[in-house]
Chains A and B, each alone.
Chain A
Amino acid sequence: MEKLNGLRCRECGRHYPAAPVHVCEFCFGPLEVDYHYDALKGVVTRESIAAGPPSMWRYRDLLPIEGDAAVGHHVGFTPLIRAKNLADELGCREVWVKNDSVCHPTWSFKDRVVAVAVTKALEFGFDTVACASTGNLANSVAAHAAEGRLKSYIFIPADLEQGKILGTLVYSPTLVAVHGTYDEVNRLCSEIADKYRWAFVNVNFRPYYSEGSKSYGFEIIEQLGWRTPGHIVVPCAGGSLITKIWKAIKELKTLGLLEGPVRTKMHAAQALGCGPIVTMIKNDTDVLVPVRPNTIAKSLAIGNPADGYYAYKTTKESGGSGEHATDEEIIEGMLLLARTEGIFTETAGGVTVAAAKKLIERGVIPRDESIVICVTGNGLKTPDALQDRLQTHAKIKPSLSAFDRALAELKSQTS
């Protein structure tokens, strides 16, 4: 089955053969993987998917790899949880949480995109992968490169805190700290990606890498019994995830795998301190104005998102919306999810919960329609976000009477 139809420019539509390239040479538009959907019809079925492994690779036929997965064999197929307690708190009938805070192996949805990029790098014969990242992406690239026996180079700004790099260094990549302003470091990384024949996962491999996010969308739909939910609230950084979940839904529709019509409205969630996509949505303009991030939601801190325009278009096309969350609301969102569902998400998840809550309160998301909230990373990686908000309730001497007194006091405080 010839499933891949090379790459296609998202702007001018020009076709390119499958290669490690990401920009149209004519209009400088971004390239995207194109598939022969006619060849996939009737071959990819609900049954064929169900017969696959309990991982993102059950959707292998809809991902841009030629053979089997080379790394990340257990990535994905994370829980979709019916969040009854959270629904009660929000006054809603049906709330689900798609929980990639437990994605294997590095606890974020980035494992999905990296597993595809690294597999593709091996298919193209590369021996080195690279990325520039301050967090989840760096963790995932280093881990998957180790598994695939590839060399890896990870670039970070020199002022990044030590605590953030240990989760990358442990996998033995080559870590390069670059001095300079954000713009200088950013430009250097682009030049490095251009000069060296490496698989720079989010640059020259971006068309393949980003397709991995579709698996998050496929899973939501399969786990809902092949029906589409009323609403999906998605955290936005570069803007790719929301567009790829939407693409996943459209692909399942094209292949005739959905139960009923597509009724999903896609909603973008961003921090107020870094929310250029939501600003586009609120102002109803397709012009993205770059911002300097100033938010505790570091895992969403992309001030000039490459897919911002497409994220905006996705919300428009689906009839969705967008909402900002303040730092305070982000913390409240994290605590609300932990308190109601026992899920400790990173700040990005706090953004999504907070934005969903506001969209519900504004009446944009009706309380009687089904809602999926996307949780894409784990709170244990960045517990410092909550450092000043949580404290021990009692400190006592090691005696039963001391505990009795403390318990009585705690009860009197809460009664």
Chain B
Amino acid sequence: MARTRVRLTFPTALIQEPIVYRLVKDFDIVINIRRADVTADHGWMALELEGDEGALERGVKWLRDRGVQVDPLERDVIVP
């Protein structure tokens, strides 16, 4: 099993969709939400994902394809 920590940022259009549920259900990823702020028009979550490595890769790709921004907890590691 592999683990990764990510920060998800949701655009307004996805706020009403059960994104995290789909991540668990479709990719068999265990999630642990540590901090989050979700309102009617924006949202972010800091969470830990646990699953086999391929599932994590596919899950992160699916999130990005859906329009969710997936960053490391540190967000922009590359700095000027």
Identify the A interface with B (CB < 8 A).
Answer: 11, 22-23, 26-29, 131-137, 155, 157, 182-183, 185-187, 189-191, 193, 202-203, 206, 237-238, 287, 289-290, 298-306
Contact = CB atoms under 8 A, between A and B. Distances in A.
A29 B79 contact: no
A42 B42 CA distance: 47
B17 to A, nearest CB: 18
A355 to B, nearest CB: 17
Interface string B52-65: 00000000000010
Most chain B C-beta atoms within 10 Å of own C-beta, residue among A22, A190, A290: A190
Contacts of A26: 34
19 contacts: A28-B34, A28-B35, A29-B35, A132-B77, A186-B71, A187-B70, A189-B77, A190-B77, A191-B72, A193-B74, A206-B74, A290-B69, A290-B75, A298-B80, A302-B80, A303-B76, A304-B69, A306-B75, A306-B76
Contacts of A190: 72-74, 77
B13 interface: no
Contact of B78 (A22, A136, A189): A189
A299 B69 contact: no
A180 to B, nearest CB: 11
Interface of B: 4-5, 9, 34-35, 37, 39, 42, 46, 48, 64, 69-80
Contacts of A300: 80
A27 B80 CA distance: 28
Contact of A186 (B37, B48, B78): B78
A206 B71 CA distance: 17
Nearest 9 Cβ contacts at the A-B interface: A190-B72, A28-B46, A299-B80, A28-B34, A304-B75, A135-B80, A132-B78, A189-B77, A302-B76
Given A183-B70, A302-B76, 19 more contacts: A23-B74, A135-B80, A136-B80, A137-B80, A183-B71, A186-B76, A187-B70, A189-B77, A190-B77, A193-B74, A203-B77, A237-B79, A238-B76, A238-B79, A287-B37, A290-B69, A302-B80, A306-B74, A306-B76
Contacts of B34: 26-28
Contacts of A136: 80
Contacts of A306: 74-76
Contacts of A203: 74, 77
B4 to A, nearest CB: 8
Contacts of A23: 5, 73-74
Contacts of B35: 11, 27-29
A238 B78 CA distance: 10
Nearest to A286: B37
